[in-house]
Amino acid sequence: MKEFNLLIEKLKNDVQKGASEENLKKVVNRIAGFYVDKMQLNSDEVAIFLSNQEKNILSFAYPEYLINSGMIPVSSTDAVAAHVFRTGRSIMENNFQQQKHLFIFELIKTPDNKIKPIWKVMSSIIATPDEKIGVIQTSRRGTDISEVGGDFTLQDLDFLEKTINDLAPLIKLVLPENFRGKIR
């Protein structure tokens, strides 16, 4: 997969610049952009959450417009990202609006000034063999169901899990020391 190998090479160059919030932001944006392009998503349909050192809070690292929108306690029973982080198990749900979930972040207007609920979602842990770092979530959003694309497939989920597994060590290398879970 040519695009993935190119992404890895760019990230390796970024990693050489060291751990910093600026570098972390660059790496997270590159990774999100890869999934936007490869999975044919809109930029507001990829979310990357990172945990604090204590592993009790998740915060948005992407998309940019949600970075200051709040934090999710890992103990939350309603947040999909918290569940994935706690259990380490991926989720794929193509009838997401029918499921109980934390929807507060869906009420924040997207950059195109619309409120777009999440209709379909896939979520996977971002972890190295020795540490959980965060969660990646891809979704299909729209003001109503007619605006969203097709269902996510098991192949999509497999792709997400395998690629983020390879990217996690590179994310870990740019996490600043004493990272509090939030990019400023």
Domains of the chain: 2-172 (3.30.450.40)
Residue 104's pLDDT is: 58
Chain mean position to CA 76? 17
- For residue 170, the number of C-alpha atoms closer than 13 Å in the C-beta half-sphere is 23
Q: What is the pTM of this model?
A: 0.91
Residue 129's pLDDT is: 94
Q: Which two tokens stand for residue 34?
A: 């890869």
| Phi-psi group of 40: left, alpha or beta (phi > 0 → left; psi -120 to 50 → alpha; rest → beta) | left
pLDDT digits (tens, 9 = 90+) for 24-61: 999 999 999 999 999 999 999 999 999 998 999 999 99
